[in-house]
Amino acid sequence: MKQIQIVEVGLRDGLQNEKSMIGVPERVQSVLELLAAGLTRIELGAYVHPKRVPQMAGTLEVVNEVLAKTQHRKGFSVLIPNDRGYDDFLRAPVPEIAIFASATEKFSQKNINCSIEESFERFQVVVRRAKKDKIKVRGYLSMCFGCPYEGEVDPKKVVGLVQRLLRLGCYEVSIGDTIGVASPDGVIRLIRLLKKAKIPMNRIAGHFHDTRGTALANIYAAYREGIHIFDTSLGGLGGCPYAPGASGNVSTEDVVYMFQRSGLMKKIDLQKLIDLNKKMSVWLGKELPSKVGKAGTWPSHQHLDPSSSA
């Protein structure tokens, strides 16, 4: 049975919508504790203008300090919006960058101040440079199920944009339910269209927000359709400052608990994630929405054989 992969996005997508800001030392400590818990794919931040997303100020310092404190490298990534961001990235390179596209025109304009077509023109420059430097490129595609400005999104349009990101050079594309409006049936319908288009499931990840409490159901539906990579955020932190209603990512702890209880995830210490959740709550001055973060682990060991359950 294929094991689930977690991509921890709390330090970028999680923090970018928070009113409170946490400093570089706390962000570095978070990375080290995430690694100690067994997470290996971690987004460290974003090279965006601090006037646009002030919570990402200090990303270069975070990356430099993390690289100085650990030998781990393989799973680190940063978000790069444009050619200027790539210049910043080269000051402290990690093995992977991410680019961020939208499935709707209005959100593309709100989020990155350009059309979908213009965004791909920007990406071409970034991807060309990354290929030359042997840097992997991951693609995010937002608003795949619904948009606060345009409403329902045609899944065929999503499929076309996923194909375009893959042709551009992305090794993996994360399909995003940015405002948390997807249902399991809608998730299944989109994934089956991706399969019909001959897109390999090992090149697709799921990025589900828990705005309406459906993220875990959507993730499990995606898993049953063949997706094994999911973006999550410690404590359920997150949202998008340019997407009204995007209240938060699915909690890393909740996803880990669900898959560990199903026998599909090992080598992640759930208690260490809960402990970090408590520290993050103090740093941000509020309780985080993660259900497992509040309830704790049960039973005391982290994995039950599903066949032993009544």
Q: Residues 144, 147, 170, 240: which is the catalytic one?
A: 240
Q: What does the alpha-carbon distance between residue 126 and residue 97 come to, in Å, rounded to a whole number? A: 10
Pairing label, strands 96-102, 76-79: parallel
Sign of the Cα pseudo-torsion (112, 92, 125, 153, in order): negative
Q: Which of 189, 187, 163 is nearest to 176 (CA)?
A: 187
d(CA 232, CA 28): 18
Task: Compute the distance between CA of residue 8 and CA of residue 256 in angstroms, rounded to an integer.
Answer: 11
Taking phi over 0 as left and psi of -120 to 50 as alpha, with beta for the rest, 218 belongs to alpha
Q: What distance lies between CA 230 and its chain's CA centroid?
A: 7
Cβ neighbourhood burial of 50 (10 Å; 0-12, 13-18, 19+):
exposed
Catalytic residue flag (residue 114): no
Helices 24-37 and 270-284 cross at an angle (nearest 10°) of 170
Cβ contact 28:62 at 8 Å: yes
The contacts of residue 134 (CB under 8 Å, 6+ apart) are: none
**What is the per-residue DSSP string for 52-79?**
T-GGGTTHHHHHHHHHHH-S--TTEEEE
Residues known to be catalytic: 240
